[in-house]
Structures are given as structure tokens and as C-alpha cells.
A and B are shown apart, each in its own frame.
Chain A
């Protein structure tokens, strides 16, 4: 079985995997990073979203063989202690309900804020519009993103 060395959350990780194994299962089953979630397996819900070189990517459709030297950031690597402005805003605005989709949404928002530090409603719609939150936390997510962008907790 092929061996890959990938950069996850700033660390070099060696894994043995078939080339088509999606990054999601590499992270979850081989590396024990379970913060990224399986929701649909076809890249249509966003529960598995991570950052690849700072851009949001659906890890359930991204094969390990395509990762190469790219830097993978998962929710576990967004901050050491939950202190990323988005995480703090998420807590303070009491966003999560069941919580299952939330890490994917936070990663998508983090990707957006890199290029759009002061997002408009339309920017938020675009960045998160391909995610599903089945509990319907959209109203609070939007508030939390705006608060994080303002630097307000």
C-alpha cells in the first residue's frame, strides 16, 4: 500500500493508504482527528470541510494522493485552545445545536475570512451557502461570523 507524508496542522504525518482514500477517512480513521465529520460523502453538505493551503475543501471528496505538499488545516489545528475569533464568537453566540456540522461551517468561515476579513451578507451566503445545518443555526452563525470579523467576542 502506498505511503504518504502529509502536512496536517503544521505536523508531518506519515500514513499508508490506497490512493483514492478521501482525506476525511485519513484524518478520522488513520490519524484520529475526528473533528471533521462525515455527512454525505459527495461533498454536498460541508460537514467534512477542512482548509487546504487556506482554502475550504470537502475532505470527503479529496483523495489522499492529491494532497501532496499542501498544508492541511483541520478544526483541531485552527487554534490550540479554541481561541480563534470564530470559535470564541461561536461559543458566545451560542451557535451550536447538535453541533455535528459546526466544525465544517467554522472551517468554511475561516477560509472566507482570510480573503474577506469584513464579509458582507452576500459573502457569507456564498461561503456557507453550500453547507447544510440540519438544526438550522444559520441566523446565529451569521451573527457569530460578523462578530468575529469585527474582532468582538
Chain B
């Protein structure tokens, strides 16, 4: 294989389909050894027939490594059993933007990767046609082979790789296979990492074996805004296996010969903190600030029945199963990091800036991410590892303990929602939603024009957004603002339906004109048996969602006994546009369902003395196997474009739970998580 440096010099930027992005196209140089075909940064065909496809977006459980490879392989007509999907390094020059979030990976890369696959296929066809002396238009491809039916000739991609490598990569767009001819995309496909995961050989960052590596943990601030006055490391240094103790930006780092030594060293460390300006801050104060930021609702139409409600949402931690961590090996003139990041190219830039190294001297390896949910877009854990390795002068495996992770997150913001709506003759006629987040500095509420992003037809609908001052760091959490805005809307729509004297599901159907939303509602009605009576003691709630190019409708069935909510059944109907991998669509809906149940009933982050109270899975409670209801997922495909699926499955679930709690108790939910003694 020739070096990437020589090939990179041919990097060009081409416009495809009106969009202009770095394709990573570079003509394949005639390789002296006549080995592999590498038409672009994402695909390589080896003489043994192996087709390697690199995923530039991070695999964090959403199945993207499998899904992106399927898109390329489809357009190439690969033999799927010979496809090897690998995680790309963080390298913005080679791969373009690698940020993985916003349910945008498949939607954003579909066209580009289809072209990558199609152009590789075109080169293989041209190589075969040239060798056989036939017109390339008379050749076809199937299952990793080029076939010429008239002569009965066929040749595998592996056997054509070296000849194809001598050809010029097609310029501009290559015609694509149509969906009706797909044999890989759309087929339920097992994840490429399954075997490694179940045998324990899958590699997460802390699993990398780096020669000479030490282990680091950091003693961190007890409150947001606290600063370190001094520390005493005398006892820490006496702990067997402790190698070094030093200050880093985020606190005091203890380096040990193993993780346990570093942890024990941290326990023995004495840090003196100035608690800073937020030392007295607590959740009640933030809640007060949120409520004080609510403005006047606009006037409601004369003669209408007016509905008022407020909803409060807590901070939420991401609580990835694998806590934040990173491995760094800082050398004098280079650095390698193993970063479980949702922004690998961003990590490369970050490390380059931190160490004043040329970007090409920073290697970013991306191991499997043990969950992301938005948390790993940040670079704080990378900074920790790089600083630690630089000072320790050796590779460092830097680990956040669970309490570090829980107490130093960028949280889904706490928020308050003040809603007012009006109905006349069973129809919604006005709607105002004030959404105040605890985030950054205080801002006035500002109105959004149009229909407030509502999927419902309400003649006078407005949404007003504002912030209440808060020093608690925030970040994107699964479905971002939808995790509260859309949940509040779906709770309130139930309240408006009640005021209108309508069944909540029928009310939704009557007041939306979106055909895809109507369809998921229709199917959820049928699959859940909405029109049939429930067994004694059971109650149900419905909610729907339109976002990220997809639609969902959920029905949740629950009962209440001994002062606790028991979940019985969740019916989820999703319109995913069309499914690249139906198994992944289903998995995303099942997973989002667990998040929705957990945050509807259990999980919240609270603040005391300027810091986070919760620190572990016992006080930040998540749904477990024994709480799980039966979950049924029905996948519809009603759009020519695949929708994003990571975020989309969440918002409907907590709303449907809340609406079911109301159906069961006759009382309204005003707070998340829903507690039975806090209903009104």
C-alpha cells in the first residue's frame, strides 16, 4: 500500500448533487505491487476479496458502523460476507465532518457514501470490461463479482482489484442503483461487532493495551464554579502503586500503576476548595428562577374554554454505561489518543491546539463508545488525558469514576413550561407554550413565528423560549430540546383534548394534516387495540412525535398498585422513512423506550450546595429488566428518505406514560419524573 501522504496531495473538493463537501476522492495511484483498489478514503478492495469500509461516524450503540457499510456495499454490489467494517480514525482532512449526533449520520452521509460505493463498482466493471474486450455497459455486478452474461465470463472483485486500481476514479456523479434493486440495504442485518462484544474482545478505550501506560483519576471540584486553593498529597503518595500526583485544569490528578492504586491515592488526597459563587445554589432556587422568567400569555379568543398547565423537567445526566475516559500518549513531537468521542475530527483539532502540534501529528483512534446519547460530543475527558500524559511523561489511561461522570456532565437542562390553550366547539383555536431553560445567562422569552413548530393545526399557536440564569453546564441529550418541549406539548394536547371532550387519540388525528403522522396514529390505534376496553386495573396513554425526518406514535399501558406505577405494555409505531437496517430501527425504538420510561418515572439530577447530588446507579435510577413492560415495535416506511432514528424514539414515551398516569388517577402530571404524590 502506498502512503496516505502521497495520496492526500490529490485531495479535491467536488460538488455532488448541489451540496459541496470534501469527498475524499483521490485518484488511485498505480500501485507498484498492484495490490488494493482504494478509490477513496472510505473503501478498499483487497486482492483476497475483502472489502473494507470505514465508518467516519462513531459507533456508540446506534449501529452506524453496520448501517454505513451497508450503504456502500449496496452500491458496490458486495458480497456482504466479505465486507469488513472498521471505525475510521479522527481525521477531518480525510473524512470531513465526523460529528456524530442529531440523528444525522445516515441522513447526512447517504448520498456521499452511495457515490463512494458506486464509483468503486464502476472501476471494477471497467477493469473487467477492458480485460474481456467488451463494452462495460454489457457487464453487470452481483454479490462481489462482475459478470458478462453474453460470454458467460465472471470475475471476483478481489481478482479485479489491482487492475481497477490503475484506472482513474470517475469524476462527478456515478449513476446509483435504485431502491427497488437493493439486496443489502433494507434487509435485517446483524451488527458487525456482535461477536467481539459477546466474547469480551471488543475494544473500548480503557481496553487498549499501550506499552508503559499508567492509570490516572482526577479529584474534581465539589461544586460548579469551585476553585482549588491547595492540596496535600503526602498521604496519597504513600499509597502502594501511586506514581505521581499533580495539578491539572480539572483538579488534581493521581497517577498509579493500576486503576485501583490511582483510586486509592485519590481517596487519600486532601484538596482544599474555594466553593465559589454557587456554594448555596440548589434545585429549589433554580426552579424559582425558571418560574420567574415566565412572561404573559397572549390573550385567548373570546368565548373559548381556556386550559392552563405547567410542566417541570429536571436536569438529566447522560449516564453512559462506560464512564468518560480517554487514553493519551503525548510525545515531544506527536500525540496519539484513544478517544471514545462523538466528534473524532474535533478531538484531533482540540489536541493539536492543546499541544501546539501540527494537526497531522495528532492521531485519534476511535474505539467503541460505551454509549453516547450526546455526552461524548464534548472534549473534557480528552483534555484530562492529554494533560495527564504530558505531565506524567508516559501514556496515561485516564478514567472518570462513576461519580465523576455523574457529577461533571453537560446535563439536559432543567426547564419550566407554562402552557395556555383554548378550545371552541371541540376544536383547538389557540396555543401558547413558554419554554424556559436553566442554561447560561438569563434571556428574555422571545416568541417564534408561525405554528410554534407544532405538528397540529391550531390557528393561533406561539412558542416563547427563554433562559433562566444557571451555572450548571448543559449539553445535548437524546432528542435535545424535544426531550422536554415535545413531551410538554404532548401532555398538554391531552389536556386540551379533555377540555374539548374528545378522545386523546382522535383529537390528535382530527387536528393534524401530516399524512405520515396520521398513519402512525392510525396504526398505533389498531395495534394497541385503542378502541377496545382494557383489562380491569389497566390504563393507557398516547403520544406522538414528528422530528428528525421520522414520525412515532406510542401507547403505554400501566397500572397503579401499592403507590407504584407498574408498566405493562408499550406499543411503538415508527415511520422511519425507509429503513437501512430494520433491526437497528427496532433497536433504537426499544432503547429510546427504556430512556423514556426511566425519565418518566425515576431519573433526575438535583443540585445541592452548587453540585450534583446523584452519583451512582442507585440514586440515579434507570429502568432495569424487572421493570420492563412488553415492548412492541412496528416499523413503517413512508418516505423516500431514511429518517434519523437515534433521537426520534424518545419524546413520545415519557408523554405517553404521563398521559397514562393521568388516565389511571384522574390527576394531572405537572413534573417529571412523575411521582404519584405530586399529581394535581
CB within 8 Å of B: which residues of A? 1, 17-18, 21-22, 25, 28-30, 32-42, 44-45, 47, 74-76, 79, 81-82, 86-87, 90-92, 94-103, 106, 124-126, 128-142
Contacts and interface: CB of A to CB of B under 8 A. Distances in A.
A36 B202 CA distance: 11
Contacts of A139: 590, 628, 631
A87 B190 CA distance: 14
A47 B52 CA distance: 31
Contact of A103 (B191, B198, B264): B198
B195 A138 contact: no
A124 to B, nearest CB: 7
Contact of A141 (B190, B194, B617, B625): B625
Interface stretch (B4-12, B319-327, B515-523, B668-676): B319-327
B34 interface: no
Nearest to B200: A35
B625 A87 contact: no
Interface stretch (B58-66, B136-144, B304-312, B466-474): B58-66
Contacts of B624: 128-132, 138
B126 interface: no
Contact of B402 (A41, A86, A101): A41
Tell me whether chain A's interface is mostly helix, strand or loop, or mixed.
loop
A74 B368 CA distance: 20
Interface string B397-411: 001011000000000
**Among B198, B320, B371, residue most surrounded by chain A Cβ atoms (within 10 Å):** B198
Given A133-B321, A140-B587, A37 B370 contact: yes
B591 interface: yes
Contacts of B207: 34
9 A-B pairs with least C-beta separation: A35-B200, A136-B594, A98-B61, A100-B370, A129-B626, A97-B61, A75-B200, A99-B197, A125-B626
Contacts of B258: 21, 25, 29-30
Interface of B: 60-63, 190-191, 193-204, 206-207, 209, 215, 240-241, 258-261, 263-264, 319-323, 368-373, 399, 401-402, 583, 587, 590-595, 616-618, 622-626, 628, 631
Given A79-B199, A90-B194, A129-B625, 16 more contacts: A34-B203, A38-B259, A82-B195, A91-B194, A91-B198, A94-B587, A95-B198, A99-B193, A100-B322, A102-B197, A103-B200, A133-B625, A135-B371, A138-B594, A138-B623, A142-B628
21 contacts: A29-B215, A34-B206, A35-B200, A37-B321, A39-B321, A41-B263, A47-B321, A75-B199, A94-B587, A96-B197, A125-B626, A126-B626, A128-B625, A129-B625, A132-B617, A134-B622, A136-B592, A138-B594, A138-B623, A140-B590, A141-B625
A79 B240 CA distance: 35
Contacts of A17: 260
Given A25-B260, A47-B321, A136 B623 contact: yes
Contacts of A124: 625
A14 B628 CA distance: 42
A37 B204 contact: yes
Nearest to A22: B260
A97 B591 contact: yes
Contact of A135 (B193, B196, B201, B321): B321
A101 B206 CA distance: 14
Contact of A28 (B62, B259, B264, B590): B259
Contact of B369 (A36, A91, A95, A98): A98
Given A37-B204, A37-B322, A38-B399, A106 B587 contact: no
Contacts of B617: 39-40, 44-45, 132
Given A45-B617, A94-B583, A96-B191, A134 B215 contact: no
A98 B587 contact: no
B260 A21 contact: yes
Contact of B625 (A94, A103, A142): A142
A17 to B, nearest CB: 8
Contacts of A102: 197-198
A25 B402 contact: no
A124 B626 CA distance: 8
B590 A98 contact: no
